[in-house]
Amino acid sequence: MKFNSKLIHAGYDSSADSQGSITPPIYKTTAYQFNNTEHAASLFALQEFGNIYSRLTNPTVGSLENRLTELEDGAMCVALSSGTSSVMYSLINIMSQGDNFITDTQLYGGTFTMFTNILPEFGITSKKVDTTDLDLVEKSIDKNTKAIYVETITNPGLVVADIEGLSKVAHSKGIPLIVDATFTTPALQKSLDFGADIVVHSLTKWMSGHGRVIAGAVIEKGGFEWGNGNFPLYDTPDTSYGGMRWGHDLGDLSGVAYSLRLRTVPLRNLGANMSPETAFEVMSGLETLGLRMERHCQNAKKAAEYLSDHDLVEWVRFPGLKDDPAYELSEKYLKGTGGTMVVFGIKGGKDAGQKFIDNLKMFRHVANVGDTRSLAIHPATTTHSQLDDEALVAAGSPPELVRLSIGIEDIEDIVDDLSQALDSTK
């Protein structure tokens, strides 16, 4: 099946359902009856796959996991309670005290805080560098570096990552490239096909689209050599799992060692599982992802062109504009669309930015992106208000920056709303 068909059909077979339900039923159960003690023992020993307890697996969540695996051209997926828990688990699944990873200076705010304040409490540190500079990335890798981690498009700077280039650097050092593909979704970029090893999603955004649930997932490409000596968690016997050496003892399943460990170690013992209701909601939204992304991208381009010509606009960043610094990367990694986000600098700085937001009528003023609705925020007075002007610039979010997540409404209404809100700042 091709992409848009997979969005609707992959991962769930209605003819195999006892009632023939055309949408995956919501299995509201905590536990699953074993056939006998032998069956229970073989499930626990990973000799047989099957349901034990809904923190570990659930059939509704499983349908979503299978669908996401197919959509990303991956080998296995673990769905989780949020994008945030997915970021965290994707890293702690391969790192422990004393380890570090390379990441960018520009990251989603919650991820930045996790990397700067939370993970170091557990002895895992990040080296934040400009990841568009591949030489710098390579030089920053040391013997304790376990991964390169980037966002496919940064927020709010809209820097497009060079996935192929970064994966080559990572693989030359025997470490994986992990990407947060929330801003691209597999409709714009198949990150695993470009060389990434692990994809992380906040499914809260474009993947669901309706703005009703918080959800996340981690998808593995499969085949990475986790037993290559760089990952002690995959070499030494795991006392929490019957002495399993995850990088060596899995036989035919060794290609998905990362996902099996993610499910049976962090997920089983820390518990950020997705509920079946949430999986159902995500799958409902996913059905229209292809159509929505097409419309999001068309609207974003038109909004960016409109803003570029406006007297009250200082500058516009949209990777799909020919003079944008990310234009070439957008051609390669975003199917030439430029994506769905537009950021711009408003004349009059912070005060004008605030006034613009207060006067928007159809755009919703929220700390979110990726909804069917058009959304706007002025980071300097909200998400980044703790930073002074110098720090705002360093975070890729100067005081005059306004961030727009362009929705799928009629473009005339989007432009009208931008126009009247800009006029109010005169």
Ligand X SMILES: Cc1ncc(COP(=O)(O)O)c(C=O)c1O
Which residues of this protein are in contact with ligand X, per CB under 6 A? 82-84, 87, 108, 110-111, 151, 155, 180, 182-183, 202, 204, 214, 216, 369
Indicate the residue among 110 and 232 with the shorter CB distance to ligand X.
110
Indicate the residue among 275 and 425 with the shorter CB distance to ligand X.
275
Indicate the residue among 151 and 249 with the shorter CB distance to ligand X.
151
Least distance between ligand X and beta carbon 84 (Å): 3
Indicate the residue among 175 and 282 with the shorter CB distance to ligand X.
282
Least distance between ligand X and beta carbon 281 (Å): 13
Indicate the residue among 192 and 257 with the shorter CB distance to ligand X.
192
Indicate the residue among 87 and 244 with the shorter CB distance to ligand X.
87
Least distance between ligand X and beta carbon 37 (Å): 39
In whole angstroms, how far apart are CA 137 and each of 13, 48, 146, 147? 44, 41, 13, 11
**Are the C-beta atoms of residues 318 and 300 closer than 8 Å to each other?**
yes
Cβ atoms < 10 Å from Cβ of 126: 22
Query: Which residue, among 390, 77, 81, 45, has the nearest Cα to 214 in the 3D structure?
Result: 81
* DSSP per-residue codes, 115-144: IIIIGGGGT-EEEEE-TT-HHHHHHH--TT
Least distance between ligand X and beta carbon 201 (Å): 8
Least distance between ligand X and beta carbon 417 (Å): 23
Q: Which runs of consecutive H residues, i.e. helices, occur in 26-96?
A: 37-44, 59-71, 83-92
Query: Which residue, among 379, 422, 350, 362, has the nearest Cα to 154 in the 3D structure?
Result: 379
Radius of gyration of the chain (CA): 22
Torsion of CA 108, 111, 112, 116, to 10 degrees: 180
Largest alpha-carbon pair distance within the chain? 75
Residue with smallest beta-carbon separation from ligand X: 83
Least distance between ligand X and beta carbon 72 (Å): 16
